Amino acid sequence: MAEEIAQGGEVPPAGESIHLPGPSFLPVIVAAGITIAVVGVVLNWVVFGIGVAITVVSIWRWAAETRADVASLPLSHD
């Protein structure tokens, strides 16, 4: 097959299409929440609580977004 392509043959068509998730800022927000929580451990319990709250809410929204994205995929592989 590589010889056919090298000699000017045509490339076979792709089989199954690849699904990639859409862009999202949620991983960055989760990282920021974890950072705030770690800094809060050193500084103050209130800052720690804010960081944990940001992290939990962001992970929850990220999981919901991922579930909605997966639910929109077709069930068959035609």
> Mind listing the pLDDT tens digit for each residue in 47-65?
999 999 999 999 999 999 9
φ, ψ for residue 24 (rounded to 5)? -150, 145
User: Domain of 41?
Assistant: 26-70
The pLDDT, as a whole number, for residue 9 is 65
pLDDT, tens digit, 9 for 90 and up, residues 7-60: 666 766 666 667 777 888 999 999 999 999 999 999 999 999 999 999 999 999
Q: Which residues contact 77 (CB under 8 A, 6 or more apart)?
A: 16
pTM of the model: 0.70
Domain assignment of residue 19, yes or no: no
| List of long-range contacts for 48-57, beta carbons under 8 Å, 24+ apart | 54/29, 55/30
Domain count, the chain: 1
Domain assignment of residue 7, yes or no: no
